[in-house]
Amino acid sequence: MRRGRRWAGAALTAAVVLSGCGTQEAEPTVTVFAAASLKESFGTLGEKFEDEHPGTNVEFSFGGSDTLAAGITGGAPADVFAAADEATMARVTQAGEASGRPEAFARNRLAIVTLPGNPHGVRSLGDLARPELKVVLCDVSVPCGAAARTVLSTARVRVRPASYEQDVKSALTKVRLKEADAALVYATDVKAAGDAVTGVEFPEADTATNSYPITVLKNAPQPERAAEFVEFVRSAQGRRVLREAGFLEPGPGAR
Amino acid sequence: MSTARPAARAPLALLVPAAAGLVFLLLPLAALLLRAPWAALPAQLGSPRVWEALRLSLLTATAATALCLVLGVPLAWVLARTDFPGRRLVRALVTLPLVLPPVVGGVALLLALGRDGLVGRLLDDWLGVTLPFTTAGVVVAEAFVAMPFLVISVEGTLRAADPRFEEAAATLGASRFTAFRRVTLPLIAPGVAAGAVLAWARALGEFGATITFAGNFPGRTQTMPLAVYLALQSDPAAAVALSLVLLAVSVAVLGAMRDRWTTGVGAA
């Protein structure tokens, strides 16, 4: 009896707290769906944006671009979508969910990630073909895997991977846990992992860079503020944060 | 079977949620069947990748079940028939993989049995064996998540079984192990079989621990659930086709085994 009452009290408190959040119309929230690789840089950008726009909140949902795109076409109430490649963004624009044309704001390229200190002396892309190395790649169904396949086939390097990982962070994790000796991940992932790994850049990476597009969504609950956020990401300040995270400037073709 | 009562006696307050529960469980399966790309199915099933993944799934799930039986039945016996300090804690720990997210289980396995793991490092140094990225690693991951199902099922059967049969065997001079082998095991065979079926089904569907611990490589560690998940990212129709195959195989195998066991138990 007593316990039941306590539960009821807790439920009531929760209801009050939740409804309180819902009725705070004074503080508009911009909801941003962004690719997992943007977690660090967009987190910083969100805080800066909130500082410059007092009274506006930015909320992020980070995840695989595929998953986010599926959420948007399925009716998730988001304001902005930033994808890790153009193919995924195309799914959203083809469904008529984008407001206007998506704009490229950054590019990312692959890098080799090795154990800390690079004990196996991996110097080039060709070294990944060495039989004594355990190498993991992303599966070709995800953007980093498609880029890895392009880079390796252009350079005519035949890698026999131990595994095709389901996303870039899993590939990175296998090296962080010392399960694999090397992996092909994004340059930004190497940077975000800090001292836990050592990165090796290679010139062939330029043959397959991913362009990151961003757009305001058609059914955005906060369209004006969403547009301001997109503008902020593409501003000089936004680009500096992205560059510090290891991203490249958007391609020359980008507007 | 004879204990079933006519449906008319069941109160509406139970029947309505029961019907809703049934619909809730069957609706997604029905949707899978209704929305399946039947026309493209033959082409999808002609791909060698499907059969490779299916063969690997059946092989590893069966091997994982065998591993669960060898380790899990004795564990269940110890939990049900002996008393030692901390037995309840051990029992709780045994069931932990049931509530642990499988991906977390996979990471834990890496930390324990990976190349740089607590025990895995020794395996690598002494025997030159590394489990991650191998078919054996898939079996280990599947057994880790499936074993609690077997242990719980067998332990329950053991508790329900009359220990006096074992005691009688002991008074007649049988050692405790002989009594277990000749008396207890035949007595609890249906429970062991049920537990093995549960464990096999759980192993067949295992995804999170497998992809985390064993990675994903066609023919070596890419089981059906992994193939379904990766197909979903690029080709949802292929994912539905793969799911149908897995569904059909599980229904067929579970159905066939159930029949054999129920008749087998009846005859014994």
Tell me the per-residue pLDDT of B150-172, one tens digit each, with 9 for 90 and over.
999 999 999 998 888 888 888 88
Q: Where residue A17 falls among pLDDT bands split at 50, 70, 90?
A: very low
Residue A5 lies in a domain: no
pLDDT level of residue A23 (50, 70, 90 thresholds): very low
What's the pLDDT band for A131 if we cut at 50, 70, 90? Answer: very high
What's the whole-number mean pLDDT along residues A151-171?
A: 93
Question: pLDDT above 90 covers what percent of chain B?
Answer: 56
Model confidence at B266: pLDDT above 80: no
Q: Is residue A52 part of a domain?
A: yes
Pairwise CA distance, residues A80 & A30, whole Å: 8
Nearest to residue B205, comparing CAs of B149, B262, B121? B149
State whether A131 and A96 are in the same domain.
Answer: no
Task: Say which residue, A13 or B145, is predicted with more confidence.
Answer: B145
List the single residue in B116, B212, B230 with the smallest CB-CB distance to A141: B230
High-pLDDT (> 90) share of chain A, %: 67
Neighbours of B113 (CB within 10 A): 23
A163 part of a folded domain:
yes
Q: Quick check: A132 pLDDT over 60? A: yes
Q: Decide if pLDDT at B146 tops 70.
A: yes
Mean pLDDT of B223-231: 91
Q: Could you give the CA distance from residue B25 to residue B29 in angstroms, rounded to a whole number?
A: 8
Question: In the predicted model, is pLDDT for residue A179 greater than 90?
Answer: yes
- Is A179 close to B133, i.e. CB distance below 8 A? yes
Which residues make beta-bridge pairs with A137? A164
If asked whether residues A43 and A125 sit together in one domain, one would say: no
Same domain, A152 and A238: no
Tens of pLDDT, residue by residue over B241-253, are 888 988 888 888 7
- Residues A99 and A133 occupy one common structural domain: no
Is A160 an interface residue toward B (CB < 8 Å)? Answer: no
Type of residue at B59: L
Residues A93 and A146 occupy one common structural domain: no
Total number of domains in chain A: 2
B137 touches A: beta carbon within 8 Å:
no
Q: DSSP string covering B170-237, please?
A: HHTT--HHHHIIIIIHHHTHHHHHHHHHHHHHHHHT--HHHHHHT---TTTT--HHHHHHHHHHH-HH
In a domain, A21, yes or no: no
Q: Which domains does chain B carry?
A: 48-267 (1.10.3720.10)
Both A64 and A188 in a single domain? Answer: no
C-alpha A50/C-alpha B122 separation (Å) is 51
Q: Which of A4-8, B139-143, B148-152, B162-166 is predicted with the least confidence, judged by mean pLDDT?
A: A4-8
Q: What is the pTM of this model?
A: 0.80
Q: Is residue A55 part of a domain?
A: yes
Residue B125 to chain A, least CA–CA distance (Å): 14
B233:A164 CB<8 A:
no
**Exposure pattern of A9-18 as b/e (b: 16+ CB <10 Å)?**
eeeeeeeeee
- Closest C-alpha among B120, B153, B145 to residue B225: B145
Same domain, residue pair A41 and A97: yes
Say whether A174 and B215 touch across the interface (CB within 8 A). Answer: yes
- Give the integer Cα–Cα distance in Å for A254 and A208: 16
The closest alpha carbon to A108, from A192, A226, A174, belongs to A192
> Residue A1, Cβ neighbours under 10 Å: how many?
5
- Residue in this structure with the two tokens 């295992």, named with its chain if needed: B206
Asked if pLDDT for residue B83 goes beyond 70, the answer is: yes
Nearest in space to B54 (alpha carbons), one of B258, B241, B255:
B241
In chain B, residues with a C-beta closer than 8 Å to the C-beta of A166 are 211, 216, 229-230, 233
Domain span including residue A147: 110-207
Q: What is the DSSP letter of A251?
A: P
In a domain, A232, yes or no: yes
**C-alpha Rg value of chain B to the nearest Å:** 22
Contact B133 A178 (CB under 8 A): no
Tell me, yes or no, whether A200 and A231 share the same domain. no
- Closest chain B residue to A68 measured between Cα atoms? B233
Co-location of A135 and A187 in the same domain: yes
For chain B, give the mean pLDDT. Answer: 88
- B30, burial (CB in 10 Å: exposed 0-12, middle 13-18, buried 19+): exposed
Show the beta-strand stretches assigned E in chain A.
29-35, 57-63, 80-82, 98-108, 110-114, 135-138, 163-165, 182-186, 198-200, 210-217
CB A164 within 8 A of CB A145: yes
- Reduce the DSSP state of residue A245 to 3 states and report it: coil
Whether residue A134 sits in one domain with residue A173 = yes
Chain B environment of A174 (Cβ under 8 Å): 132, 215
State both tokens at A29. 């929230």
* Res. A252: pLDDT tops 90: no
Is A179's CB within 8 Å of B212's CB? no
Distance from CA of B39 to the nearest CA of A (A): 24
Instruction: Report the range of poorest mean pLDDT among A121-125, A137-141, B7-11, B225-229.
Output: B7-11
Q: Do A35 and A119 sit in the same domain of this protein?
A: no
Which CATH number goes with the domain that contains A190? 3.40.190.10
C-alpha B22: how far from chain center: 23
Residue of A nearest to B215 (CA): A163
Confirm whether A138 is domain-assigned: yes
Please report whether residue A95 resides in a domain. yes
Q: Return the pLDDT at A48.
A: 95
Please report, for residues A61, A92, A221, B31, the alpha-carbon distance to residue A74 in angstroms, rounded to integers and kept in the order given: 15, 10, 16, 17
Q: Is the separation of the CB atoms in B165 and B187 below 8 Å?
A: yes
Q: CA angle at residue B47 from B34 to B248, to 5 degrees?
A: 40
Look at the block and give the residue holding tokens 């490229």: A104
Band the pLDDT of B42: cuts 50, 70, 90. Answer: confident
Lowest mean pLDDT of A98-107, A197-206, B27-36, B257-266, name the range.
B257-266
